[in-house]
């Protein structure tokens, strides 16, 4: 963590000259660090009395996360680690796929090259939201992992409900939504042998408290846990603990039963079912009505020429 941010982390207001003396740097250097932190999306107020974070940092502490896990979960885990800064937690897992044990979790307070589907960036200021990746190994090949991102979505909304954030939906194939505003996303990347064994790197990002500047940088409606009506905002540690528990259980179930074990839970959270949507594929675009997903997790869309089952597409809700 940058030295200036470490001093400001508590939320106290500190004067520039005092920061400079404590760190043994010039006031100009302090100003440059503050400017660099603001450029990442952190909200730092300033006045004649000094600098102050708009709100204290909610630090992620692996020891606290592990302490909150039941023994049955803790014993199954591989590595659990948190980094101050990474390009991407999924990239880190992919780089270390050969060495990381099964069911390893890699968190980062800050990703400067986080990514979503189709090359989109995941925008998040440091130590503000929750972003992490899980490496899960499977003895089977790629074909057996159909519907994995949907099963993960079910686990994530269950974990959020455990933390008091209910009334969330799942937008096929990988978005967590509230009233059609994006709360989080899931990205699954596969590696290993096509026919097996293989591994999945499951990247998850959840908006805990999204500053206005970060909202403006996004190209679609979004929300965060802090904005949900009636919900108590969980700490990032509590959220990480709940997610590890639910994901560990869900991935074990998926390995045995596949997406079949999650079809009813997915349908109960399906944010598209029965709605008019616009579908864009590599072969063109068309309008239709979403009719849930099939046994593989493919999206069923009733269009003028019949029912389409889609494994990959861009989907948007049409105005009624």
Domain ranges in the chain with CATH number 3.30.930.10 = 62-268
| Count of CB atoms situated within 10 Å of the CB of 307 | 12
Helix (H, G, I), strand (E, B) or coil at 191: strand
CATH code of the domain occupying 272-317: 2.30.30.100
Domain ranges in the chain with CATH number 2.30.30.100 = 272-317
Catalytic residues, by residue number, are 117, 182, 318
**Cβ-contact 302, 289 below 8 angstroms:** yes
CATH code of the domain occupying 62-268: 3.30.930.10
How close are the terminal C-alpha atoms of the chain, in Å? 48
Dihedral sign for Cα 159, 164, 170, 174, please: negative
String of b and e for 144-173 (b: at least 16 CB within 10 Å)?
Answer: bbbbbbbbbbbbbbbbbebbebeebbbbbb
- Tell me the CATH class for 3-53: mainly alpha
Q: Is the pLDDT of residue 116 over 70?
A: no
What pLDDT digit, counting tens, does each position of 179-223 carry?
Answer: 999 999 999 999 999 999 999 999 999 999 887 777 777 778 899
What pLDDT digit, counting tens, does each position of 254-271 carry?
Answer: 999 999 999 999 999 999
Domain ranges in the chain with CATH number 1.10.10.10 = 3-53
Q: What are the C-alpha distances in Å from 45 to residues 8, 9, 56, 175? A: 11, 13, 12, 33
Q: Which position has the higher pLDDT, 79 or 318?
A: 79
Share of the chain above pLDDT 70, in %: 96
């Amino acid at each position: 963590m940058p030295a200036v941010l470490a001093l400001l982390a508590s939320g106290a207001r500190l004067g520039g000259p005092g920061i400079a003396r404590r760190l043994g740097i010039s006031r100009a250097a302090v100003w440059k660090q503050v400017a660099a932190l603001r450029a990442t999306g952190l909200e730092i107020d300033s006045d004649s009395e000094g600098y102050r974070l708009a709100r204290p940092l909610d630090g992620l502490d692996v020891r606290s996360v592990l302490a909150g896990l039941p023994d049955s979960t803790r014993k199954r885990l591989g590595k659990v680690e948190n980094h101050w800064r990474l390009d991407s937690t999924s990239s880190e897992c992919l780089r270390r796929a050969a060495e990381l044990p099964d069911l390893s979790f890699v968190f980062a307070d800050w990703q400067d090259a986080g990514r979503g589907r189709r090359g989109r960036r995941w925008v998040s200021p440091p130590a503000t939201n929750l972003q992490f990746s899980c490496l899960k190994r499977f003895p089977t090949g790629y074909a057996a992992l159909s519907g994995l991102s949907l099963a993960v979505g079910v686990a994530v909304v269950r974990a959020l409900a455990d933390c008091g954030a209910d009334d969330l939906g799942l937008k096929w194939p990988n978005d967590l939504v509230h009233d059609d505003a994006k709360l989080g996303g899931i990205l699954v990347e596969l590696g290993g042998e096509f026919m097996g064994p293989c591994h999945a790197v499951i990247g998850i990002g959840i908006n805990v408290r999204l500053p206005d500047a970060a909202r403006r940088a996004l190209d679609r409606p979004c929300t965060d846990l802090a904005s949900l009506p009636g919900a108590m905002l969980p700490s990032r540690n509590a959220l990480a603990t709940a997610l590890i528990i639910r994901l560990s259980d869900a991935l074990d179930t998926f390995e045995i039963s596949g997406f079949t074990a999650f079809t009813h839970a997915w349908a109960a959270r399906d944010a598209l079912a029965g709605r008019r949507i616009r579908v864009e594929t590599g072969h063109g675009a068309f309008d239709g009505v979403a009719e849930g997903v099939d046994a593989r997790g493919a999206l069923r869309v009733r269009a003028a020429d019949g029912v389409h089952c889609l494994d990959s597409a861009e989907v948007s809700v049409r105005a009624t």
